[in-house]
Structure 1
Amino acid sequence: MPAVTVEDLTVLERVKTPGLGDVPRPVRAISTAPQGYEGEGFPVRRAFAGLDLRDLDPFIMMDQMGEVEYAPGEPKGTAWHPHRGFETVTYIMDGTFDHQDSHGGGGTITNGDTQWMTAGSGLLHIEAPPEWMVTKGGLFHGIQLWVNLPREAKMSTPKYQDIRSGEVQLLTSPDAGALVRVIAGTVDGHAGPGATHTPMTLVHASLEPGARLDLPWDVDFNALVYVLNGQGRVGTDACPLRTGQAAALGAGDYLTIAADSTQESRSPRLDVIVVGGRPIREPLAWAGPFVMNSKAEVMEAYQSFQRGDFGQIPG
């Protein structure tokens, strides 16, 4: 899992240790992601399936794409498809993905890069491996997070952010046993490069065997921890959590993640996605690629797409 890293974590700034009176976050619920296929047939785990939508707000869902080693000719993506009313955040840890949309956004992301697409009022979008990867095959691993937009931003102008791995804010734990990559939002006053409509924080953390991370977290945000690979424990009750499982945490000033001292051979460390945001607390109507506030708005989105209002597929 190359995602951006450094050889010597001791050169990084440390996140602060919890202060006297700081409250740790307990675990509210744990779920295990079901596995399936998306797009043209790439394997995914639906990371937050089974968790209450009230614990997810302002997020809709998150898919772990892969981890998969493709043979030549096997890499797959998606066909052109529409979106309205939310943002997609695609973070690639291994492999390469090409992106293009009908609003002029797009590019290639690889090993630690992020594509942040604000669908807003609507666009057409495609994601696919480059032709050379289809020919050669190779390792592919990433996530895609869907972030809801508040009512006043749902019809905003579409926007694209191309976040390179070198822009990600890197921090470490006080004992330098964990690498913290801040992609968006802030951790302990250190800001990541992603600009968000909905106040939120997105982190990818890697913990060495036996390491512990006490991660300061905005008290106004919810908190979700998803294990990409490895095994460890989370929360005040040290609840076990392994690959493909997610934990929704309760209120508090910080969250605790600890890696088991022994990891499986193919996962030498514990890798987690930690995400949280300020709940929007608005009615939610979600159908396929449209996330709106009412059924009538979803129907209008379908009609708008059929009229061609989302733009044309580029030549």
Structure 2
Amino acid sequence: MSARTLAAQHPAYRDDIGDLVTRRPVPAPRLRQIDPFLFLNHHGPQVYPPHNRGLPFGPHPHRGFETVTFILDGSLSHSDTGGHESIIEAGGVQWMTAGSGLIHAELSPEHFKREGGPMEILQLWLNLPARLKMTAPAYTGLQREAIPALPLADGRGELSLIAGEWEGVQGPIRSLTGVFMSTLRLQAGAEIWLPAPRGRSVLLYTVRGRVKVAGVPVQPWQLVELHDDGDRLLIEALDDAVLLFGHADPIDEPMVSHGPFVMNSEAEIRTAILDYQAGKFNGTGPLPEAGGG
């Protein structure tokens, strides 16, 4: 076995949405995507006061990809035109397959808007290959207790396994494309080797704390790009740290994005817009309420 080396670090840039603190490491000026990982928003950390307006993500459409939302702190209400509704609390995850198209809303539930509190959320967009672009929409909401928490580094770390397999344990999400997805919490001084199979694209983002990746110091809020020159990865925690870690097979197909649609051609984008305007994303459920759950 050989170790991967670090190719580049891509700092998340500030792109606040109203009063919502937002950082985005990808897409970035020097990094369009880490195929199939298209987009990552880091909202917060911040504290909302009582009687706040909550998150601003009212009803909007998607087609052609999946969204994975990690609620690190706070709570998040989801509703969509596939008839799915949930309120996921801190430590939970939402995995939505937009596929052929739906409309959803991600808003703060009424109790959070009334009482306020800390909030920190990551949202990741995962591309789908052409053969799955028009798959049926689906949604899974997982609370913290439904996600296996596996010990690392002699008890000085923990891996929350969302999708894929780790040492014989299967994550609760069965990804359509074989994606491995997890979050890591490490205590200062922890040292771990992570699997990073050759030929797979690795997603590694430093949510909190300083670490070393392949021996190179990395600050918080960095997307780490790796060479495909090994099959495992060394992480050393310099502080207490939180990381987003996943890997997946590259799709290696043409990719055209336009706002909330990600397809393989401009013609498919035009079709997505027309289908949305014609009400073909309305599915079986009611249109999500703009006011939240």
State the TM-score, normalizing by the size of structure 2: 0.92
Instruction: Deviation per CA, 1:180-219: give whole Å up to 9, x if none.
Output: 1111112344321112112211111111111111112333
Partner of 2:47: 69
Code of the residue aligned with 1:29 in structure 2: it is A
How far is 1:77 from its partner?
Answer: 2.9
Report the more deviating stretch, 248-257 or 271-280.
Answer: 248-257
Code of the residue aligned with 1:63 in structure 2: it is N
Q: How does 1:229-248 map to 2 (within 5 A)?
A: 229-235=208-214, 238-248=215-225
Partner of 1:196: 175
Partner of 1:47: 25
RMSD: 1.6
Partner of 1:313: 287
**Structure 1 residues 37 and 96, CA gap change in structure 2 (3 angstroms):** same
Gaps of 5+ in 2: none
Code of the residue aligned with 1:65 in structure 2: it is H
Gaps of 5+ in 1: 1-21, 264-268
Alignment check: 8 A CA contact 1:232 1:240 kept: yes
Q: How does 1:185-224 map to 2 (within 5 A)?
A: 185-224=164-203
SS in 1 for 2:139: strand
Alignment check: 8 A CA contact 1:181 1:205 kept: yes
Partner residue of 1:282 out of 234, 237, 253: 253
Code of the residue aligned with 1:34 in structure 2: it is Y
How far is 1:174 from its partner?
Answer: 4.3
Instruction: Deviation per CA, 1:115-141: give whole Å up to 9, x if none.
Output: 111001001010100112112111011
Code of the residue aligned with 1:91 in structure 2: it is F
Alignment check: 8 A CA contact 2:204 2:225 kept: yes
How far is 1:314 from its partner?
Answer: 5.0
Partner residue of 2:135 out of 133, 140, 156: 156
Alignment check: 8 A CA contact 2:104 2:288 kept: no
Alignment check: 8 A CA contact 2:93 2:142 kept: yes
Instruction: Deviation per CA, 1:220-271: give whole Å up to 9, x if none.
Output: 4211211111111102xx11111111101122221111111xx4xxxxx111
How far is 1:296 from its partner?
Answer: 1.0
Q: CA–CA distance in 1 between the matches of 2:143 and 2:109?
A: 18
Q: Which structure is higher in RCO with an 8 Å CA cutoff and minimum separation 6?
A: 2
Q: CA–CA distance in 1 between the matches of 2:151 and 2:194?
A: 10
Instruction: Deviation per CA, 1:9-45: give whole Å up to 9, x if none.
Output: xxxxxxxxxxxxx11111111110011224x652211
Partner residue of 2:156 out of 172, 177, 184: 177
Q: CA–CA distance in 1 between the matches of 2:110 and 2:147?
A: 28
Partner residue of 1:257 out of 235, 238, 248: 235
Calculate percent identity across the aligned residue pairs.
35
Q: CA–CA distance in 1 between the matches of 2:167 and 2:4?
A: 16
